[in-house]
Amino acid sequence: DNVRVTNSGYHGISVLHNRNTSVKNSVVDGACVRLHDCGGIYTGARDKLPLTLLIDNNTVTNVKGSENVGIYLDDHANGVTISRNKVSNTTRAMFLHNSFDTVISNNTLASSEVAHLQFSQDAGTIRNNKVTNNTFNSTNGEFNYNTESGTNLRTFMSADYNTYTSNNPNVFHRYWDGRSAGVTQSYTGWKGWGGQDA
């Protein structure tokens, strides 16, 4: 806790397989400067056991690159609470890869290049993720949500009481349906498609 990281070559802060810990009140200003597929704050749990990890009240900014993320939950990370963080000027603000049983609440996500919150799964592992009371501010035409393929696309998360601002409300959510490069939805389409934020 209370760490400041500036322009790190790889992850800014990494918590791998540690249980019952926290990343709080820290600043990551620049990460993944030399390597890719990494995060300003990064965690994972390949053994699929709960991390019981709290990521709270951090500022993450200036994490750029094709596979780089502000807060990255990788490899079955679960039992994670992400709250009260400010994430801006990233390629993706948050990325959940095969993650489940997470709580994402009261965060502010702004100025992402691709998407604020992306979900990716290898074999239908994403489930029971709660996204509530967050603020999404889209100024670059980015998606609020970007979801990849899988039969549980409508059940991988529940979203409610979030606030969205955008300069293009027709670009709200993108998902891959298995037959095309992707389907883009407006906010209205998002609500009707998955019953989220209704």
Give the pLDDT score at 170.
79
Q: Measure the CA–CA gap between 150 and 56, rounded to whole angstroms.
A: 30
Neighbouring-strand partners of residue 55: 23, 82
Identify which of 90, 95, 68, 92 has the alpha carbon closest to the alpha carbon of residue 80.
Answer: 95
Give the pLDDT score at 25.
98
Could you tell me the mean pLDDT of each successive run of 10 residues in the chain, 198 residues long? 95 92 98 94 95 98 93 96 98 95 98 93 84 95 82 78 88 74 82 77
What single letter denotes the amino acid at residue 22?
A: S
Query: In total, how many domains does the chain have?
Result: 1
- Quickly list DSSP for 61-96: EEE-STTEEEEEEETT-EEEEEES-EEEEEEEEEEE
Give the pLDDT score at 181.
63
Residue bearing tokens 């994972």? 44
Q: Measure the CA–CA gap between 83 and 53, rounded to whole angstroms.
A: 11
Q: What is the pTM of this model?
A: 0.94
The domain of 19 spans 4-194
